Structure 1
Amino acid sequence: MEQKIHQGRNVKRFREMLNIKQEALAYDLGEDWNQKKISMLEQKDVIEDNLLKQISAVLKIPVEAFQNFDEEQAINIISNSFDNGSIGYQKNDTCTFNPIDKIVQLYDEMIALYERILKEKDEMMVRLEKLIEK
């Protein structure tokens, strides 16, 4: 069974993704528009082509996006394209480094940084003591 694409809902989705309020879209569409009219527009299954072109120009989104976007299809594509929600992961991939070695390396770098900070603090204290003595 083929599902119909709800163009008004698509306008709302894209408008919200762009973080644009209904009032702002109404303002950009012209004096004939207000928030209530935008709300009613977003409830329509099919929107006239010339109006979709106007909305497309304002939101800078192709008309085809409003006419063809189907959330359920997008979710199916995403869920079938990725394994366990991880991008670029394949089951046969193996780790090319030892994670414990990486942790030890990070720990050593942290200790070295801490020692540098202490040394700089000591040098700063010596400078301050010299300034106070003068």
Structure 2
Amino acid sequence: MNIGQKIARLREIRGIKQADLARRLGITQQALSKMENCEVVDDERLERVASALEVSPDVIRNFREDVIINNVYDQNNTVINYQFNPIEKIVALYDQLLATERKRIELLETLLKIEQEKKH
């Protein structure tokens, strides 16, 4: 994914239309469209785009489609970016669910044994 595609994808994630971002940047929608198709964007322009998207330039540079970014604010209202892979989270949750179900089955089997022993 090139830098232009990253800008476009982050714009979409933030729910900002191309015309709105272009207006924030003081450029035409056509100029923004061209930028979103560029392989490289100079640092000054990237700073302006990042500011308009309310993210840091590093968030744009390091953006990956398979990673979710959560912005958490510390006591000084400084943004701390936490990145995680949603697939890894789903797998971890599935593993927890599976472990819980195994414990539940063990408990039910134990209760069944106790009931059967009471009958004999």
Fold-level similarity (TM above 0.5): yes
* 1:18 alignment partner AA: R
In 1, Cα distance between the equivalents of 2:7 and 2:58?
11
Q: What are the ranges of 5 or more consecutive residues in structure 1 without an aligned counterpart? A: 98-134
2:24 aligned with 1:28, yes or no?
A: yes
1:1-134 counterparts in 2 under 5 A?
A: 5-30=1-26, 33-72=27-66, 74=67, 77-83=85-91, 87=93, 89-90=95-96, 91-94=98-101
Superposition TM-score, scaled by structure 2 size: 0.61
Higher CA-based Rg: 1
The runs of at least 4 consecutive aligned structure 1 residues that moved more than 6 Å come to none
Q: Sequence identity of aligned pairs in percent?
A: 26
* 2:44 alignment partner AA: N
Superposition TM-score, scaled by structure 1 size: 0.55
Please report how far the alpha carbon of residue 88 of structure 1 lies from its aligned counterpart in structure 2 after TM superposition. 6.5
In 1, Cα distance between the equivalents of 2:85 and 2:16?
27
- String of CA shifts for 1:38-81, please: whole Å, max 9, x gaps: 00000011111111100111110111111011225x39933234
Q: Secondary structure of 1:93's match?
A: helix
Please report how far the alpha carbon of residue 95 of structure 1 lies from its aligned counterpart in structure 2 after TM superposition. 8.7
Higher strand fraction: Structure 1 or Structure 2?
2
In 1, Cα distance between the equivalents of 2:15 and 2:88?
29
